[in-house]
Amino acid sequence: MKQPVLSLRDLHIWYGSERGPVRAVDGVSLDLLPGETVGLVGESGCGKSTLGRGVLGLLPDGAGHAGEVSYGGRNILALKPKELAQLRGPDLGMIFQEPMTRLNPLMRISEHFEEVLRIHEPDLSKKQAKARALETLRGMGIPPTRYTQYPHEFSGGMRQRIMIALALVLRPAVVVADEPTTALDVLVEAQILRIIADLRRNFDTALLLITHNLGIVAEACDRVAVMYAGRVVEQGPAYDVTTKPAHPYSRELLRSTISLSTRELHSIPGAPPDLVSPPSACRFHPRCPNAMKVCAEQWPPTVTVGTARRSECWLHATEDIPAGLEAPLEREELAVAEEA
């Protein structure tokens, strides 16, 4: 068995507000193995990007945190800024959304790569740095003839591939990819999926893939973690989660996915909760079609489903429900719970 290259243990991240702390990540535990791709999915506002940035210690001033993000036996969140800067790039890489906002429009692509390599691998000669950059770009389908061009001379898909190349040129052990295919057409999306598949084969890179696209998860991921209101409510092998979801939220997300077989649109009633004052007990119970009285009163246990999945839901621990709380939560009670 491989040992995790990255481990999250009871991770909490919150932001200050006039109404109180916004609990964007609220007790997440997750492992990432070498060469593994883990998809992190959920609705907007559930805490996915905050978790991804927390993994790299890229939290804004004023954000609070507790728990551990362990890499190489060190807690990333406890490191000093200088120590963190040394890890980012050679060990921990990040692919951001909207590459045009991340590439300096006044710098050529060659200068972006030279800067990254000069800072993190100062012993490389200029010739070696150029060879490394061109090799990485070639793997992304960017020809050497375009090495000295500016960002505005590339299409959106090519800029995204350049961003991926910048994250990989230092050959990091872990890469966090935040919506790498956002706003791209399906042909470019397919190219990037192939690149993601090549990461494990060529670099043995562990990838945390943050996305809304469940099709990408089924295609490119080994495991998937489903996030709702700051919690990971289900995690397990991608095939199992996407074909036989154990948590009602996972099931509703999949039902909302559009495919060639879709005959009518489906959406999850209501909206994600306020993370300043989330619902009591199970956070999904105001929107859950399977909610029971216990769901509104007691925190659900984390139950192993099958051999490799974990789900945070009372549906898989019915024998532990206290007497009198196993009855379905009536719609009137759901409405009251949602207002609360």
What pLDDT, in 10s, does the model give residues 14-37? 999 999 999 999 999 999 999 999
Q: Establish if 310 belongs to a structural domain.
A: no
195 and 260, same domain (yes or no)? yes
- Using CA atoms, how far residue 248 sits from 21, 84, 120, in Å, is 27, 38, 45
Summarised one tens digit per residue, pLDDT across range 99-150 is 667 789 999 999 999 999 999 899 999 999 999 999 989 888 899 999 999 9
Give residue 144's pLDDT: 95
218 and 250, same domain (yes or no)? yes
Give residue 337's pLDDT: 47
85 and 182, same domain (yes or no)? yes
Summarised one tens digit per residue, pLDDT across range 167-217 is 889 889 999 988 887 666 777 777 777 777 777 777 788 999 998 888 788
Q: Establish if 280 belongs to a structural domain.
A: no
What's the order of all strands across the beta sheet hosting 231-237?
A: 92-95, 174-178, 206-210, 37-41, 223-228, 231-237, 309-312, 302-305
The closest of 2, 4, 5, 3 to 173, measured between CA atoms, is 5
Q: Establish if 104 belongs to a structural domain.
A: yes
Q: pTM of the entire structure? A: 0.89
Q: Establish if 319 belongs to a structural domain.
A: no
Last residue of a domain, one of 169, 196, 228: 169
How many alpha carbons fall within 13 Å on the CB side of residue 199? 34
What is the domain count for the chain?
Answer: 2
47 and 73, same domain (yes or no)? yes
Taking the C-alpha atoms of residue 263 and residue 287, their distance in angstroms, rounded to an integer, is 23
- Using CA atoms, how far residue 67 sits from 10, 30, 45, 162, 331, in Å, is 5, 12, 21, 34, 37
162 and 183, same domain (yes or no)? no
Q: Which amino acid is at 29?
A: S
Residue 33's domain is classified under what CATH number? 3.40.50.300
Domain span including residue 243: 1-91+172-272
Least confident interval from 197-201, 208-212, 267-271, 325-329: 197-201
Give residue 198's pLDDT: 76
76 and 219, same domain (yes or no)? yes
Summarised one tens digit per residue, pLDDT across range 71-82 is 989 999 999 988
Give residue 4's pLDDT: 94
For residue 78, the SS3 value is helix
